[in-house]
Structure 1
């Protein structure tokens, strides 16, 4: 029996509201209405896999190895990590770099995510920088390399994913080796017992089922770190242009973005009667500064207040009562702006792999 068919019942039982993509690996996303809570419930959180789910032994016997460009290689069990290092919690948005890929035209390679491959959770674990301090980084340390037991479905000898982080990000306070999500032990579907949490970076950098970190003296070149995998062109590209892989760089930041969680596509409203538009805005390394809404298809925009985030990397709620007097079709549009002036574009910034689509969202409805 194909591995995916074995894994589906687990997903259906734990996450009954998710849409499962027709892929060999198990990948699923929630409908937008399930993303309306400030902290996304685990049962509504998207699932992204590059290979088959690994078999996980007892959590207590799981070990994490730290080696490479360090003075003192180390191995810890989960209880040892929890006992020897300070436990911290970081609230952060996790988003797949390919979220919204289905909107690119012409179509690009990769999983055709809609808009649900994103969520905001509380992640609890130990700071990666504390582990690195314990091991003693050598001056040659440049990049981390992350390893996990998940394997590709076509070749069980091949790692499904092996990503890494620049040392500067690995040493940042917000970067964790996490063992809990939303105050519960990290679920297997989300990488339990251990995963990387790298706020602001794409979800691919948040390696799941982490069992080894190797410190390298060069940029990591593991699985899905080469070619055009999770890499963006350093200059804009047009469809059909030849691909020169030397002109691509590792994706290390997510752009400013927003999501309208209510109303939904196909909504109806009564003319002259207020209705609520709400959702969230977030960004990567550059904080969100402002939010705007349009109810006339982008002809005019009005600024909307943003509520404070739960931490520097959480998303920010916006909520606005709109009243539309005229009847007929209506399109609600939302766009966020960051503190450096970056703003959501009206159309997605095309690239060969369909990454970082932060185009303005459009929600179509009718005023009666």
Structure 2
């Protein structure tokens, strides 16, 4: 077992702060991701919070500020479970780095995405108990992990609009896949915001604040923003670019591995697809010959509206080196861009171009 109880075959991008993704094979075909394979994205050292001493504060534009222990949370609110796919905004960044270098950013492959069953209290129920005032338009999450990459260094914070915060799928979660939330994944309590970039599912929650404006922290105003291609990330001012929130349609190939050498005969291609908020995966197609011909994949494994779907397709590959390509459509009829080139941006976010692997058939 590796660092933080993770699988030995995790691709560790950094040990401090700990950032790692599972191998594609660890995600292939599994409707939920085991905790030891779930990707980990951190901005500072993992804090060590004593659940017996920890309290959650709910403050800001509320009529009744709250301060509750984990036990009080569990006793005071209905416990609900939601199966959720969380995806880092930088998932598949390696494909954009191949177009043009992105200095200082983690070269995530297709594994900065994972799915788990989270259980906890609805954020909406907690806010109802606190009595959010009419001026409230955003809900901010605060954590104690201090990031040296922020300017200036500061504890992690982020926010979501009130409308999303009141949605029934948004949780303050204390379990993950039927076990207490592991420390590296946010114990004793984390936010889970389905359909939004993982950066908004803040871990190690210590405070929830009702605000009239979005969080003014670095990770809301500067870090997770989609900058135009001509910008220099180190010269961007707070508020530049587009604030990232809901995720878009995406898919990738998990098996066989890129560069695999395969015997003759039919080959099964396996991958995942995830639709954007309020949409579903409608179709996945796979090409065994670099997008000249296409085969419709079998899409399966739906476990609620906030989870990915896996897909498989059996294809016959030409001899020699071939490029296998996959693309998806969502329920609104939208598909994925063919090339990562036009998607390139200075921080390497939101790559949802066609998935591609090169295979060698003997």
Q: How does 1:34-183 map to 2 (within 5 A)?
A: 34-36=26-28, 37-57=30-50, 59-104=51-96, 105-109=99-103, 110-153=105-148, 158-183=153-178
Q: How does 1:132-281 map to 2 (within 5 A)?
A: 132-153=127-148, 158-227=153-222, 229-233=223-227, 237-238=229-230, 246-271=239-264, 273-281=265-273
* Alpha-carbon distance in structure 2 between the residues aligned to 1:84 and 1:329: 60
Tell me what 2:22 maps to.
Answer: 30
TM-score, length basis structure 2 = 0.91
Say if 1:160 and 1:223, in contact at 8 Å, map to a contact too.
Answer: no
Tell me what 2:309 maps to.
Answer: 316
Go from structure 1 to structure 2 and tell me whether the alpha carbon gap of 1:244 and 1:220 turns closer, same or farther (over 3 Å shift).
closer
Of 358-367 and 125-134, deviating more is 358-367
* Alpha-carbon distance in structure 1 between the residues aligned to 2:190 and 2:239: 30
Provide the secondary structure at the position in 2 that maps to 1:61: coil
1:301 aligns with 2:294: yes
Go from structure 1 to structure 2 and tell me whether the alpha carbon gap of 1:12 and 1:60 turns closer, same or farther (over 3 Å shift).
closer
Unaligned runs of 5+ in 1: 1-8
1:351 aligns with 2:352: no
Q: Deviations over 1:252-292 (max 9, x none)?
A: 11111112221112223343x22211121112313221111
Provide the secondary structure at the position in 1 that maps to 2:127: helix
Provide the secondary structure at the position in 1 that maps to 2:84: strand
Provide the secondary structure at the position in 2 that maps to 1:90: strand
Q: RMSD of aligned C-alpha atoms?
A: 2.2
Provide the secondary structure at the position in 1 that maps to 2:111: coil
Tell me what 1:3 maps to.
Answer: none
Provide the secondary structure at the position in 1 that maps to 2:52: helix
Q: How many residues align?
A: 353
Provide the secondary structure at the position in 2 that maps to 1:320: strand
* Alpha-carbon distance in structure 2 between the residues aligned to 1:270 and 1:354: 36
Q: CA deviation at 1:341?
A: 2.6
Provide the secondary structure at the position in 1 that maps to 2:322: strand
Q: CA deviation at 1:334?
A: 0.9
* Alpha-carbon distance in structure 1 between the residues aligned to 2:306 and 2:149: 36
Say if 1:239 and 1:350, in contact at 8 Å, map to a contact too.
Answer: no
1:16 aligns with 2:8: yes
